[in-house]
Amino acid sequence: MNRLEGKVALISGAARGMGASHARAVVREGGSVVLGDVLEEEGEALAEELGTNARFVRLDVTAPQDWTRAVDAALDDFGKLDVLVNNAGICTMGSLFDYTLEDWNRIIGINLTGQFLGIRAAVGALIDAAPASIINISSTQGMEGIAELHGYTASKFGVRGLTKSVALELAGRNVRANTICPGTVATPMNEGLDVSGFNPMNRKADTSEVSSLVVYLASDESTFISGTEIVVDGGELAGHGPLIPV
Ligand code: NAD
């Protein structure tokens, strides 16, 4: 409790799934949160549920002017911005024979360029509030590929690179930047996907199992952690199962 007392966070894609869980965790830990999403009804409802320490703004992460509005909302309503969580994302798939340029540009625009635009819009406020923290959500697909997940895999590898260049530029300003690479998590994004055998725990993570890491990276408990990625994957990337004698 109160690990984020006095902190103000802006979370993209916060209307549902992991973003909503992170928003709940920030408020539970004593912080305030601006929820940004294209899903207005869900976002407004969550902000109302969370009370005076939360507000919703319509945010399409591909639109620079939406980002400016979201950062202004944090400054106007809560006085500063300490934490940016670049969480919004989509997942599309298709073989090389039918994944179109439009598919590619859309996912890169949301999953990668959207994070760059968020950092650009927030950087001034984060420096003013420093010590501050940027948390970029990648995926285990930012560490290894999945067949036919070309745009998703490329965008999530890109997020890790962006985090490193940002962390290096902002280290001297006391703004940290880190990447979280979740494995498979129970959210609307992967509803209906069979993930049995995908990780050795043989289950999807609960969103709270990622939110606890978001709280840690947002807090002053992690002041020497920057420019890195932390994997939350139930052992998915650890290796292979036993060798079976033939
Ligand atoms: P989700 O689909 O439940 O939530 C994603 C949110 O992003 C939604 O609220 C959606 O409206 C929002 N969004 C989509 N496009 C947007 C845009 N242009 N502007 C603003 N908001 C937009 O999915 P989730 O699983 O909660 O995903 C959250 C993040 O975690 C994503 O970046 C995703 O790639 C990543 N991730 C998910 C998993 C998983 O297994 N669910 C695993 C690893 C990483």
Q: Is the pLDDT of residue 1 over 80?
A: no
* Cβ-Cβ contacts under 8 Å for 85 (sequence gap 6 or more): 9, 10, 11, 12, 14, 19, 22, 135, 137, 214, 218
Ligand 1 center from residue 80 Cα (angstroms): 25
Number of domains in the chain: 1
> What is the pLDDT at residue 91?
97
142 belongs to a structural domain: yes
Q: What is the mean pLDDT of residues 145-158?
A: 98
Q: Please pick, among 152, 187, 207, 219, the residue that the annotation labels catalytic.
A: 152
Sign of CA dihedral 105, 111, 118, 47: positive
User: CB of 13 closer than 6 A to ligand 1?
Assistant: yes
Q: pLDDT digit string (tens) for 176-234?
A: 999 999 999 999 999 988 888 899 999 999 999 999 999 999 999 999 999 999 999 99
- Looking at the predicted structure, is the pLDDT value of residue 162 above 90? yes
Out of 44, 149, 187, 194, mutate this one to test ligand 1's pocket (max ligand atoms within 8 Å of CB): namely 187
Ligand 1 touching residue 19 (CB < 6 A)? yes
pTM exceeding 0.95: yes
Q: What mean pLDDT is predicted for residues 40-64?
A: 98
Average pLDDT over residues 5-29: 98
Q: Render pLDDT for 101-121 as a digit per residue (tens, 0 to 9).
A: 999 999 999 999 999 999 999
Q: Cα(244) to centroid of ligand 1, in Å?
A: 38
Whole-number pLDDT of residue 188: 95
196 occurs within a structural domain: yes
DSSP code at position 204: P
Containing domain of residue 106, as a range? 8-232
Token pair 């979370």 is found at 11
pLDDT of residue 82: 98
pLDDT at 197: 87
Q: Which atom of ligand 1 is nearest to the CA of 138?
A: 44
Q: What's the pLDDT score for residue 196? A: 80
Question: What are 27-36's pLDDT values in tens digits?
Answer: 999 999 999 9
Considering the domain boundaries, does residue 1 fall inside one?
A: no
Q: Give the three-state DSSP class for 202.
A: coil
Q: Which residues of 169-197 are buried (b: 16+ CB within 10 A; e: fewer)?
A: ebeeeebbbbbbbbbbbbbeeeeeeeeee
Q: What percent of the chain has pLDDT over 70?
A: 100
Identify the CATH number of the domain in which residue 104 sits: 3.40.50.720
Residue 57 included in any domain: yes
Asked whether residue 136 is assigned to any structural domain, the reply reads: yes
What pLDDT does residue 83 have?
Answer: 99
Residue 152: active-site member: yes
Question: Would you say the CB of residue 233 lies under 6 angstroms from ligand 1?
Answer: no
Least reliable range by pLDDT among 44-48, 143-147, 196-200, 221-225:
196-200
Atom 10, ligand 1: residue with shortest CA distance: 13
